[in-house]
Amino acid sequence: MQATRLDQQLRFIAELDKLKGVERMISLIGGARRENSAEHSWHLAVMAPLLAEYAPAGLDLARVVTMLLVHDVVEIDAGDTFAFDAAGAADKDERERRAAVRLFGLLPADQAGELRGYWDEFEARNTPEARFAVALDRFQGLLMNRGNGGGTWKIHSITREQVLQRMAPIREGAPALWSVVLTVLDEVGLSAS
């Protein structure tokens, strides 16, 4: 018996619930516990309209929000890889590609292609929308670490240079926010390498 369109959509929706159980390395502001990937995606989706005035003119904001909502869905299977974990990053792309095939494949073909397209666009960073979405992704981590006095960066002895390299997409996707990056790094007092 073939699953109906609604059955496929409901199965995908149920699978999305697993994103709530994927812990990230970064703590909530105040340090009560670690953030999960679903919270992260929601936070970014709210940030997009709030910070849209710092995006390139003519940006399709609905496209950015959708990208942000689906960009980490693959972590259901692939897990979250800490931004500064070189060993974990070695096979990250392959793990995430396999996850994208399985997860988006749960949907009806038209929706699978559409949502997978948003995920691919985010990963490729080849549109103004994707570059802004990636900038917000990086910016949110910066704000979380700021709220925790350097938080994850200090716990893992991350240097100023490492953070600057990680934050580099902000310069291209939301250049008006770059001064905030520099200010935050000064505030938390990260040391040079």
DSSP structure class, residue 4: P
Whole-model pTM: value is 0.95
Does residue 2 carry a pLDDT above 80? no
SS3 assignment, position 99: helix
- Scanning the chain, the segments in alpha helix (DSSP H) are 5-16, 37-50, 61-70, 75-78, 86-89, 92-104, 109-124, 128-147, 151-155, 160-173, 178-188
Q: Which two tokens stand for residue 53?
A: 């005035």
- Write down the pLDDT at residue 1: 62
Alpha-carbon span 83 to 100, nearest angstrom: 19
User: Residue 4 above 70 pLDDT?
Assistant: yes
Q: What is the pLDDT of residue 153?
A: 95
pLDDT reading at 190 higher than 70: yes
